[in-house]
């Protein structure tokens, strides 16, 4: 088995990124729990407090490092192979929570995590065998940016319509993972396009390179929103649920875009799509079950006991 036929380097880097993400979320959850005021989520005052919290800052640095390692992994393997590997963060999160709280995970929690890990393990194995890296065309990049704009419109439209209603805690986790998935997808396109530009020594500010710059701007917007929703999610969920959402919703979005827009599975057999659908659905169901199983007591990250009843703005 070679790196060409099975991108081992990319998978190893993705595992390292998952470990960094787990620790980062744990530390940031502790910082957010101290900065959150009332039930209004993270406002300007809260972020100012976070900026002075050394634990949160270390968590933020590790979060940034996790993103860089993940982007490095994308340079070695297709998007739909690398992103799902992050589900191992669920295992790391469970072990860290058990270690910090000195309690054993509930058996239903263990089952939920096992469903996620096994499902995405099968997904990654099949994806690694049938997917391939392809050159990102201008049309494909424009399509990704259009999808991002549509998602932005839907997100803010829905938040405006339902602003006076209680928002389920898990929604912030899902939104954080959603935009994180766009960061990974756009990051992959930038990596491939920069590699192509360097190979052809293309440093002219033409239409192609302008699109690459637009893609970088999309990464900034999606990244900022992902950070905002993740920090808000920390005020209404414990770290394990946040990690679960990021490691399942993120790859789900990235894989869908990788298959439909980037054409990474263009030559994949029909049966593989059935496997993707079944395992992807099972993994999402596992995350939802994990969120439902989390106790209301204070978590390892220090989330408040009444977090599940809070709303954001």
| Boundaries of every domain in the chain | 8-309
pLDDT along the chain (313 residues), means of 10: 57 89 84 61 58 82 87 82 79 80 81 84 81 75 89 88 74 86 84 73 70 87 87 74 76 79 81 88 78 50 39 35
Give the global pTM: 0.72
The pLDDT of residue 75 is: 80
E-only strand ranges, the chain = none
Widest CA span of the chain, in angstroms? 58
The pLDDT of residue 216 is: 87
pLDDT tens column, 50-84: 777 788 888 888 988 988 898 888 888 787 788 87
The pLDDT of residue 291 is: 63
Cα–Cα distance between 293 and 287 in angstroms, integer?
Answer: 10
CA distances from 251 to 70, 149, 157, 178, 255 (A): 12, 19, 24, 9, 6
The pLDDT of residue 233 is: 80
Cα–Cα distance between 189 and 136 in angstroms, integer?
Answer: 6
Take residue 298 and report the two structure tokens written for it: 């204070």
């Amino acid at each position: 088995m070679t790196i060409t036929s099975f991108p081992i380097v990319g998978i190893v880097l993705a595992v390292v990124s998952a470990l960094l993400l787990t620790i980062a979320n744990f530390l940031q959850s502790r910082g957010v729990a101290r900065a959150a005021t009332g039930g209004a989520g993270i406002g300007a005052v809260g972020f100012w407090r976070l900026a002075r919290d050394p634990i949160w800052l270390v968590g933020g640095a590790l979060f940034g490092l996790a993103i860089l390692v993940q982007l490095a992994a994308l340079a070695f393997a297709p998007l739909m192979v690398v992103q799902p590997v992050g589900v191992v963060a669920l295992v790391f999160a469970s072990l860290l929570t058990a270690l910090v709280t000195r309690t054993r995970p509930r058996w239903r929690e263990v089952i939920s995590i096992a469903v996620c890990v096994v499902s995405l393990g099968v997904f990654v194995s099949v994806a690694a065998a049938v997917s391939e890296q392809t050159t990102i065309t201008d049309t494909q990049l424009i399509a990704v940016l259009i999808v991002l704009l549509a998602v932005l419109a839907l997100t803010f439209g829905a938040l405006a319509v339902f602003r006076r209603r209680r928002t389920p805690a898990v929604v912030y986790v899902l939104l954080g993972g959603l935009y994180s998935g766009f960061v990974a997808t756009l990051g992959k396109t930038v990596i491939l396009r920069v590699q192509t530009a360097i190979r052809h020594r293309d440093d002219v500010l033409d239409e192609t390179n302008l699109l690459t710059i637009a893609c970088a701007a999309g990464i900034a917007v999606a990244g900022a929103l992902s950070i905002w929703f993740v920090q808000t999610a920390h005020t209404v969920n414990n770290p394990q649920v946040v990690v679960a959402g990021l490691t399942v919703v993120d790859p789900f979005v990235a894989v869908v875009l990788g298959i439909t827009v980037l054409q990474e599975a263009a030559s994949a057999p029909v049966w593989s799509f059935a496997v993707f659908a079944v395992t992807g659905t099972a993994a999402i169901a596992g995350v939802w079950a994990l969120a439902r199983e989390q106790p209301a007591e204070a978590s390892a990250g220090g989330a408040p006991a009444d977090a599940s009843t809070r709303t954001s703005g």
